[in-house]
Chain A
Amino acid sequence: DTAVSQTPKYLVTQMGNDKSIKCEQNLGHDTMYWYKQDSKKFLKIMFSYNNKELIINETVPNRFSPKSPDKAHLNLHINSLELGDSAVYFCASSQSGLGDYEQYFGPGTRLTVT
Protein backbone atom coordinates (compact mmCIF):
# COMPACT_ATOMS: atom_id res chain seq x y z
CA ASP A 1 0.00 0.00 0.00
CA THR A 2 3.06 2.27 0.16
CA ALA A 3 2.40 5.23 -2.13
CA VAL A 4 5.94 6.56 -2.59
CA SER A 5 8.80 4.32 -1.54
CA GLN A 6 12.53 4.93 -1.43
CA THR A 7 15.44 2.58 -1.03
CA PRO A 8 17.54 2.56 0.97
CA LYS A 9 16.25 4.48 3.99
CA TYR A 10 19.75 4.87 5.36
CA LEU A 11 23.00 5.03 3.44
CA VAL A 12 26.43 5.43 4.97
CA THR A 13 29.36 5.67 2.59
CA GLN A 14 32.81 7.14 2.23
CA MET A 15 33.90 10.21 0.33
CA GLY A 16 34.59 9.59 -3.32
CA ASN A 17 32.16 6.69 -3.67
CA ASP A 18 29.26 6.56 -6.13
CA LYS A 19 25.81 5.69 -4.83
CA SER A 20 22.20 5.53 -6.02
CA ILE A 21 18.88 6.09 -4.33
CA LYS A 22 15.79 4.54 -5.87
CA CYS A 23 12.25 5.89 -5.81
CA GLU A 24 9.02 4.28 -6.90
CA GLN A 25 5.44 5.50 -6.75
CA ASN A 26 2.32 3.41 -7.23
CA LEU A 27 -0.11 6.32 -7.38
CA GLY A 28 -0.14 6.54 -11.16
CA HIS A 29 1.26 10.08 -11.00
CA ASP A 30 3.01 11.59 -13.99
CA THR A 31 5.43 13.91 -12.17
CA MET A 32 8.21 13.01 -9.74
CA TYR A 33 10.67 15.10 -7.76
CA TRP A 34 13.84 14.94 -5.71
CA TYR A 35 14.31 17.24 -2.74
CA LYS A 36 17.28 17.68 -0.42
CA GLN A 37 16.81 18.44 3.29
CA ASP A 38 19.98 19.77 4.88
CA SER A 39 21.11 19.57 8.49
CA LYS A 40 19.08 22.68 9.35
CA LYS A 41 15.95 20.97 8.00
CA PHE A 42 15.72 23.27 4.98
CA LEU A 43 14.02 21.54 2.03
CA LYS A 44 14.95 22.47 -1.51
CA ILE A 45 13.93 20.99 -4.82
CA MET A 46 16.65 19.45 -6.92
CA PHE A 47 14.92 17.89 -9.93
CA SER A 48 11.51 17.24 -11.39
CA TYR A 49 10.45 14.85 -14.12
CA ASN A 50 7.15 14.78 -15.96
CA ASN A 51 6.46 11.61 -17.95
CA LYS A 52 10.18 10.81 -17.95
CA GLU A 53 11.11 14.27 -19.20
CA LEU A 54 13.29 16.55 -17.07
CA ILE A 55 11.39 19.77 -16.37
CA ILE A 56 13.12 21.23 -13.32
CA ASN A 57 16.87 21.15 -12.84
CA GLU A 58 17.95 23.42 -10.01
CA THR A 59 21.51 24.53 -9.44
CA VAL A 60 22.82 21.14 -8.45
CA PRO A 61 26.37 19.85 -9.01
CA ASN A 62 26.53 17.66 -12.08
CA ARG A 63 27.71 14.84 -9.82
CA PHE A 64 23.98 14.37 -9.22
CA SER A 65 22.19 12.68 -12.09
CA PRO A 66 18.53 11.73 -12.00
CA LYS A 67 17.24 8.93 -14.18
CA SER A 68 13.61 8.11 -14.92
CA PRO A 69 13.24 4.72 -16.64
CA ASP A 70 9.45 5.09 -16.58
CA LYS A 71 6.98 7.47 -15.04
CA ALA A 72 6.68 5.39 -11.87
CA HIS A 73 10.39 5.49 -11.08
CA LEU A 74 12.89 8.27 -10.51
CA ASN A 75 16.34 7.31 -9.32
CA LEU A 76 19.11 9.59 -8.11
CA HIS A 77 22.73 8.72 -8.80
CA ILE A 78 25.50 10.61 -7.03
CA ASN A 79 29.11 10.41 -8.18
CA SER A 80 32.22 11.21 -6.17
CA LEU A 81 30.36 11.78 -2.93
CA GLU A 82 31.47 14.69 -0.74
CA LEU A 83 30.95 15.40 2.94
CA GLY A 84 28.52 18.20 2.04
CA ASP A 85 26.24 15.71 0.32
CA SER A 86 25.22 14.37 3.72
CA ALA A 87 21.51 15.12 4.01
CA VAL A 88 18.07 13.55 3.82
CA TYR A 89 16.85 13.10 0.26
CA PHE A 90 13.13 12.97 -0.39
CA CYS A 91 11.37 11.70 -3.44
CA ALA A 92 7.86 12.99 -4.16
CA SER A 93 5.20 12.63 -6.81
CA SER A 94 2.15 14.48 -8.04
CA GLN A 95 -0.40 14.31 -10.82
CA SER A 96 -0.59 17.26 -13.17
CA GLY A 97 -3.97 18.49 -14.31
CA LEU A 98 -5.87 17.51 -11.15
CA GLY A 99 -5.83 21.01 -9.82
CA ASP A 100 -4.75 20.33 -6.25
CA TYR A 101 -0.97 20.39 -6.74
CA GLU A 102 -0.41 18.16 -3.71
CA GLN A 103 2.90 16.37 -3.68
CA TYR A 104 3.17 13.00 -1.95
CA PHE A 105 6.48 12.36 -0.27
CA GLY A 106 8.47 9.21 0.30
CA PRO A 107 9.96 8.38 3.70
CA GLY A 108 13.32 9.94 2.86
CA THR A 109 16.82 8.52 2.57
CA ARG A 110 19.37 9.68 5.13
CA LEU A 111 22.73 9.82 3.39
CA THR A 112 25.82 10.10 5.56
CA VAL A 113 29.17 10.63 3.88
CA THR A 114 32.21 9.96 6.06
Chain B
Amino acid sequence: AQTVTQSQPEMSVQEAETVTLSCTYDTSENNYYLFWYKQPPSRQMILVIRQEAYKQQNATENRFSVNFQKAAKSFSLKISDSQLGDTAMYFCAFIPLGGAQKLVFGQGTRLTINP
Protein backbone atom coordinates (compact mmCIF):
# COMPACT_ATOMS: atom_id res chain seq x y z
CA ALA B 1 0.00 0.00 0.00
CA GLN B 2 1.16 3.51 -0.75
CA THR B 3 1.66 5.87 2.16
CA VAL B 4 2.65 9.51 2.42
CA THR B 5 4.23 10.92 5.58
CA GLN B 6 4.60 14.55 6.56
CA SER B 7 6.63 14.63 9.74
CA GLN B 8 6.04 18.29 10.62
CA PRO B 9 2.51 18.85 11.96
CA GLU B 10 3.13 22.59 12.35
CA MET B 11 5.66 25.16 11.24
CA SER B 12 5.95 28.88 11.75
CA VAL B 13 8.25 31.40 10.08
CA GLN B 14 8.54 35.14 9.67
CA GLU B 15 7.39 36.87 6.53
CA ALA B 16 10.04 36.93 3.76
CA GLU B 17 11.87 33.92 5.19
CA THR B 18 12.35 30.64 3.35
CA VAL B 19 10.68 27.52 4.68
CA THR B 20 10.93 23.87 3.69
CA LEU B 21 8.17 21.35 4.28
CA SER B 22 9.12 17.66 4.35
CA CYS B 23 7.37 14.73 2.73
CA THR B 24 8.33 11.10 2.31
CA TYR B 25 6.35 8.39 0.61
CA ASP B 26 6.41 4.65 0.27
CA THR B 27 5.56 2.83 -2.93
CA SER B 28 6.70 -0.05 -5.10
CA GLU B 29 5.49 1.79 -8.20
CA ASN B 30 8.00 3.24 -10.62
CA ASN B 31 5.67 5.65 -12.43
CA TYR B 32 3.76 8.18 -10.40
CA TYR B 33 3.10 11.85 -9.81
CA LEU B 34 3.65 13.85 -6.66
CA PHE B 35 1.79 16.99 -5.69
CA TRP B 36 1.70 19.68 -3.07
CA TYR B 37 -1.75 21.08 -2.33
CA LYS B 38 -2.47 24.15 -0.24
CA GLN B 39 -5.60 24.48 1.89
CA PRO B 40 -6.04 28.03 3.27
CA PRO B 41 -8.64 28.83 5.94
CA SER B 42 -11.22 29.14 3.14
CA ARG B 43 -10.99 25.32 2.90
CA GLN B 44 -10.42 25.32 -0.87
CA MET B 45 -7.80 22.81 -2.04
CA ILE B 46 -5.36 24.53 -4.38
CA LEU B 47 -2.64 22.79 -6.38
CA VAL B 48 0.74 24.39 -5.66
CA ILE B 49 3.11 22.25 -7.68
CA ARG B 50 3.43 18.84 -9.34
CA GLN B 51 6.34 16.52 -10.13
CA GLU B 52 6.46 13.61 -12.54
CA ALA B 53 8.53 10.76 -11.13
CA TYR B 54 10.29 10.14 -14.43
CA LYS B 55 11.64 13.69 -14.54
CA GLN B 56 14.88 14.26 -12.70
CA GLN B 57 14.59 18.03 -12.86
CA ASN B 58 12.90 19.53 -9.83
CA ALA B 59 9.67 21.39 -10.54
CA THR B 60 9.46 25.13 -9.86
CA GLU B 61 6.48 27.49 -9.78
CA ASN B 62 7.49 31.06 -8.95
CA ARG B 63 8.38 31.10 -5.23
CA PHE B 64 7.62 27.39 -4.84
CA SER B 65 10.10 24.65 -5.68
CA VAL B 66 10.55 21.03 -4.79
CA ASN B 67 13.48 18.81 -3.94
CA PHE B 68 12.58 15.44 -5.41
CA GLN B 69 14.82 12.57 -4.38
CA LYS B 70 13.36 9.47 -6.02
CA ALA B 71 15.76 6.94 -4.49
CA ALA B 72 15.10 8.32 -1.03
CA LYS B 73 11.36 8.68 -1.77
CA SER B 74 11.48 12.23 -0.57
CA PHE B 75 9.57 15.22 -1.93
CA SER B 76 10.07 18.44 0.02
CA LEU B 77 8.52 21.82 -0.77
CA LYS B 78 10.51 25.03 -0.46
CA ILE B 79 8.69 28.35 -0.21
CA SER B 80 10.95 31.34 -0.80
CA ASP B 81 10.20 34.90 0.29
CA SER B 82 7.20 33.66 2.26
CA GLN B 83 4.10 35.86 2.33
CA LEU B 84 1.24 36.17 4.77
CA GLY B 85 -1.04 34.61 2.15
CA ASP B 86 1.03 31.43 2.29
CA THR B 87 -0.49 30.66 5.69
CA ALA B 88 -2.37 27.41 5.14
CA MET B 89 -2.36 23.64 5.56
CA TYR B 90 -0.06 22.02 3.03
CA PHE B 91 -0.66 18.48 1.86
CA CYS B 92 1.78 16.27 0.04
CA ALA B 93 0.04 13.76 -2.24
CA PHE B 94 0.97 10.82 -4.41
CA ILE B 95 -0.80 9.14 -7.32
CA PRO B 96 0.42 5.96 -9.01
CA LEU B 97 -0.07 5.77 -12.75
CA GLY B 98 -0.88 2.09 -12.77
CA GLY B 99 -4.02 0.40 -11.49
CA ALA B 100 -6.63 2.43 -9.67
CA GLN B 101 -5.28 5.94 -9.71
CA LYS B 102 -5.99 6.96 -6.15
CA LEU B 103 -4.60 10.21 -4.81
CA VAL B 104 -3.05 9.45 -1.42
CA PHE B 105 -2.49 12.37 0.95
CA GLY B 106 -0.11 12.96 3.82
CA GLN B 107 -1.35 14.18 7.19
CA GLY B 108 -0.68 17.80 6.34
CA THR B 109 1.58 20.54 7.75
CA ARG B 110 0.03 23.66 9.19
CA LEU B 111 2.20 26.58 8.08
CA THR B 112 1.90 29.99 9.68
CA ILE B 113 3.63 33.04 8.25
CA ASN B 114 4.06 35.72 10.91
CA PRO B 115 4.27 39.44 10.09
Report A's interface with B, CB cutoff 8 A: 33, 40-45, 48, 55-56, 58, 88, 90, 92, 100-103, 105, 107-108, 110
Contact call A45/B102, Cβ cutoff below 8 A: yes
Given contacts A43-B105, A56-B102, A105 and B44 within 8 Å (CB-CB): yes
Complex formed: what's the CA distance from A44 to B108 in Å? 12
Across the A-B interface, give the 8 residue pairs with the lowest CB-CB distance, nearest first: A105-B45, A43-B105, A101-B33, A108-B43, A41-B108, A56-B100, A45-B102, A101-B95
Complex formed: what's the CA distance from A88 to B42 in Å? 12
22 contacts between A and B (CB under 8 A): A33-B103, A41-B39, A41-B107, A43-B91, A43-B105, A43-B108, A45-B103, A45-B104, A48-B100, A56-B100, A56-B102, A58-B102, A90-B45, A92-B45, A100-B33, A100-B50, A101-B33, A101-B101, A102-B47, A105-B45, A107-B44, A108-B45
Query: B89 in the interface, Cβ–Cβ < 8 Å?
Result: yes
Contact call B107/A40, Cβ cutoff below 8 A: yes
A43-B91, A88-B43, A101-B33 given; 6 more Cβ-contact pairs under 8 Å: A41-B39, A41-B108, A43-B105, A44-B105, A101-B50, A105-B45
Query: B16 in the interface, Cβ–Cβ < 8 Å?
Result: no
**Of B37, B50, B103, B108, the contact of A42 (CB 8 Å cutoff):** B108
Q: Which residue of B lies closest to A9 (CB)?
A: B43
Query: B11 in the interface, Cβ–Cβ < 8 Å?
Result: no
A48, A56, A92, A103: most-surrounded residue (chain B CB, <10 A) = A103
Q: Which residue of A lies closest to B44 (CB)?
A: A107
Query: Across the interface, which residues of A come within 8 angstroms of B35, CB to CB?
Result: 102
Query: B84 in the interface, Cβ–Cβ < 8 Å?
Result: no
Q: Which residue of A lies closest to B39 (CB)?
A: A41
Given contacts A56-B102, A101-B95, A42 and B43 within 8 Å (CB-CB): no
Contact call A103/B107, Cβ cutoff below 8 A: no
Complex formed: what's the CA distance from A107 to B39 in Å? 10
